[in-house]
Amino acid sequence: MIKRKNELKCFVFLVLTTLITGSNNISSSAGTESNTTGTFSVLSYNIGGLPEMFSSSGDPKKYIPQIGSKLYAYDLINVQEDFNYHAALYANDTHAYRTPTSGGAGIGDGMNFLSNYPFGDTDRETWTDRYGKFDCGSDELTPKGFMYNQVKIADGVYVDVYNLHADADTDPKSEAARRSNLNQLATYIEQYSQGHAVIVFGDTNCRYTRADDDLKSLFVDRLDMRDVWIEKIRNGIYPEKGGEALLGVSGETSANNEVVDKIFYRSGAGITLNPTSYKVENSYFTDLEGNQLSDHYAISANFSYTRDNSIVYSDLWGGSGGIAFNFLRNPSPTFSRPVSVSIRGENRVDAVSMTYGDGTVLSNGGTGGTQKTLALENDEYIIQAVIYKNTYKGSDRVFYLELTTNKNRVLESGVKSGTALTLTAPAGTYIAGFFGRAEANIDKIGAIYKALE
């Protein structure tokens, strides 16, 4: 099991749609009529922010403020090598949500995320295996790795965004370290992004033509991800493994020009992502004389999204500990109605589970506390959840959960302590499942609404 670092707690996001009596009680109901489609843009850029004496970007002290002033054109941005000129980058940027720096070269990982949309659950993970030769790289001198953020694009639309900077170079030990990097990231995505839409964009230092990188089978096939360059520029055709490197004309958006910076994506339960464009930004990030502002070209893509109105995610309430869960991670074709629901708890909520009409049982959380179960009648379903969160051992947890059915029967567990959020299923829907974060306790929880048959 991967240890959660919890180095950053960026922003616990909510849409506060209705305030009800009392400042510690919030009501929220995600609608099923609006925000069904939309668009957003992404950018990946290795900005070459090493100290000037080590940088291969020319003049980072001069160029990085210019990069910052151009980032406004994109909604979601992953940067790499954002080291010693981070303050200058952010001073010239206008995004409302941004991760704090993890430090300069030799201390920080150089990765940051800038967004027009709120996000939470930020994690930074250092690669388990690294290798760097002093004459051609510094992979062991700075903690490269990957970064995770869960972004709320719109009501009911969550996307897990990953940034990465993999080991460089092509000697056997570097290749082995890079394969380990991809495997580590894939394992994390499998564990923490079950059921969610995912976009991974960053500096992979990989090429499909390199036999030893094995990018397609280790990462793409394993996670059912798609590469936007492959899809939009190469018509779905992957380069020949072990073939000649596709160097093409540097900076061109071309089937014959593979760059090591990449954008991968997959849709999630209830959320469909569709890339509409891909571009190597060979002219935008330049100075007045036409000089590139980094030794990497930035790459960008535009996405459209569609939310399935028959399945909608609510807001989330709680903390950032535990492991992500999603009751839609392996939905049955019919996602039949629950026939019973159970909550374990005592001083806090330890676990939640549902049994469905087709016999499927979905459960998340620990084994503590006492389990309470409510068997639902044939025409009965859950329409409301009241959730209290409070702080325990330095992080927010779910202290109390109360579920109410359309027949006004109630199942509850835990202790009413802290701040409450009330989730009410929109008209014509019911609470069909849950998503959030859990391990020994329920750290954070939200509802999945499904249209009544």
Domain spans, the chain: 35-307, 311-451
Instruction: Identify which has the larger pLDDT, 375 or 129.
Output: 375
Q: What is the pLDDT of residue 133?
A: 54
The sign of the CA dihedral 300, 301, 302, 306 is negative
Beta bridge partners of 340: 355, 375
pLDDT tens figures, 177-226: 999 999 999 999 998 898 899 999 999 999 999 999 989 999 999 999 99
Q: What is the pLDDT of residue 433?
A: 95
Q: Which of 234-238, 267-271, 284-288 has the lowest mean pLDDT?
A: 267-271
pLDDT tens figures, 121-136: 889 999 999 876 544 4
Please check the confidence at residue 5 and state whether its pLDDT lies above 60: no
430 membership: H or E segment, kind and range:
strand 429-438
Please check the confidence at residue 370 and state whether its pLDDT lies above 60: yes
Yes or no: is domain 35-307 CATH 3.80.10.10?
A: no
pLDDT tens figures, 29-44: 555 454 489 999 999 9
Please check the confidence at residue 300 and state whether its pLDDT lies above 90: yes
Mean pLDDT of 351-365: 94
| Contact residues for 285 (Cβ-Cβ < 8 A; gap 6+) | 45, 67, 70, 292, 293, 294, 297, 298
Mean pLDDT of 86-95: 97
% of the chain surpassing 90 pLDDT: 77
For residue 425, give Cα distances in angstroms to 34, 151, 152, 349, 389: 15, 22, 19, 21, 20
Q: What is the pLDDT of residue 65?
A: 97
Please check the confidence at residue 14 and state whether its pLDDT lies above 50: no
What's the rounded Cα separation, in Å, for the pair 126 and 105? 14
- Sheet strands (E) in 4-53: 18-19, 25-28, 37-46
Q: What is the pLDDT of residue 162?
A: 98
Mean pLDDT of 12-18: 31
Fold category of 311-451 in CATH: Vitelline Membrane Outer Layer Protein I, subunit A (2.100.10)
Mean pLDDT of 313-335: 81
Q: What is the pLDDT of residue 142?
A: 76
pTM of the model: 0.87
